[in-house]
Amino acid sequence: MINLLLPALFMLAQEPAVKPEAPAVQVTAPAPAKELKPLSFLCERFPFHWNQLQPLNVVVDGLKVKSIYFNKRTVTLFKSAEFGTRAVIEVENTANATRVPGFALALFDAENRLLGVASGGPKLGGVRTGDTETFDLSFHQVVERIPRADHFYLTVELTN
């Protein structure tokens, strides 16, 4: 019994550990920034269709999103070879200036569980006035349930 009491008494006799004081943090107000132009932004929900061209009629400051297509990327020489899951977005620039879009997609099932995400945009430059371009957005890592999605959110953000 004394073997148990002696260590307990020894612990009680020690000085409590001293907490080091946190260094003082000085907060300064940010310098007044140049007035920034607001970004053009759109976020909408759409029904999901796997392996079907889905027409869309969405316009963000003259950039018209014409269609979206979800499928698995394959090579015709190797019928069973799959190279990822993707969404192909087709846009047309009807504005008077070049548009630089960024895209984000989030796919959900009927119970609103997130099934996959993808994002992308142009590598260099943007979509010139009057041009129609397509953008490949790849889904990575979490892809098995994507074909069973119920709906998706498309976000478009312009950064001219």
Domain ranges of the chain: 39-158
Q: 99 near 127, Cβ under 8 Å?
A: yes
pLDDT at 44 over 70: yes
pLDDT tens digits for 91-123? Answer: 999 999 999 999 999 999 999 999 999 999 998
Q: How far apart are CA 66 and CA 51, in angstroms?
A: 16
How high does pLDDT run on average in the chain?
Answer: 83
Going by C-beta distance under 8 Å and a sequence separation of 6 or more, which residues neighbour residue 53? Answer: 67, 69
**In the CATH scheme, what is the code of domain 39-158?**
2.60.210
Residue 130: both structure tokens together: 């009057």
Confidence (pTM): 0.72
